[in-house]
Amino acid sequence: MKIPVTLNDTKIVLEAEPGDKLLNVLRRQNLLSVKCGCSKGHCGACTVLLDGKPVPSCIVPVALSRDSKITTLEYFSKSEEYQDILSGFKKAGITMCGFCNAGKVFSAWHILSTSMKPDRKMICEEVQHLSLCCTNTDILINGILYAFDFKVQRMGAQKNAKN
């Protein structure tokens, strides 16, 4: 089955069987930031952005991604938003273990892109499903709040540079 998608801003056609999970198809594309964790959509290790929303690729049939935009951590890590998140995580003392990075980063990105000013309660609700193997929820919440501050600083600097 041929499935046209935009993968990391490149239009391609994925070859897959109808029942294949998006996780497995992306790993066959050598996109190794997409990890296999719980295979039930709970841990966050396989998270990708699908049309701008963080989703667990281990439970998404690849056929549902037809004509969608898929972003993996390999590509996202080149963005300014990633740098804001990484800086916030570093300030909070969060280790990027390599296994649960996609879940932490894409959850943080979703919060920062959909909230004018995130608060602890809202962040906690958004990240409670993640199986964090290298930090705890309170530290992750702090990291996301710090990332918000870095984003505000960057946006202010960009706005001032334009004036």
DSSP 23-87: HHHHHHTT-TTS--SSSSS-S-TTEEEETTEEEETTSSBGGGGTT-EEE-HHHHTTSHHHHHHHH
Domain count, the chain: 2
How confident is the model at residue 94, as a pLDDT?
92
Task: Give the CATH number for residue 17.
Answer: 3.10.20.30
Q: What is the number of other CB atoms lying within 10 angstroms of the CB of residue 98? A: 13
Is 55 inside a domain boundary?
A: yes
How confident is the model at residue 77, as a pLDDT?
96
Is 50 inside a domain boundary?
A: yes
Is 163 inside a domain boundary?
A: no
Is 162 inside a domain boundary?
A: no
Domain finish residue from 35, 54, 75: 75
Is 13 inside a domain boundary?
A: yes
Residues 142, 84 share a domain: yes
Q: Contact 34/23 with Cβ under 8 angstroms?
A: yes
Amino acid at the residue 10: T
Domain finish residue from 75, 105, 133: 75
Q: What is the pTM of this model?
A: 0.90
Residues 57, 96 share a domain: no
Place of tokens 């390999």: 74
Provide the domain limits for residue 34. 2-75
Residues 68, 98 share a domain: no
Q: Contact 30/92 with Cβ under 8 angstroms?
A: no
The CB-side HSE value for 74 (13 A sphere, CA atoms) comes to 14
**pLDDT of the chain along its 163 residues, tens only?**
999 999 999 999 999 997 899 999 999 999 999 999 888 888 889 999 999 999 999 999 999 999 999 999 999 999 999 999 999 999 999 988 788 899 999 999 999 999 889 999 999 999 988 877 778 899 999 999 999 999 999 888 776 667 5
* 97, 77, 7, 48: CA torsion to nearest 10: 40
Domain finish residue from 75, 97, 125: 75
Task: Give the CATH number for residue 98.
Answer: 1.10.150
How confident is the model at residue 160, as a pLDDT?
66
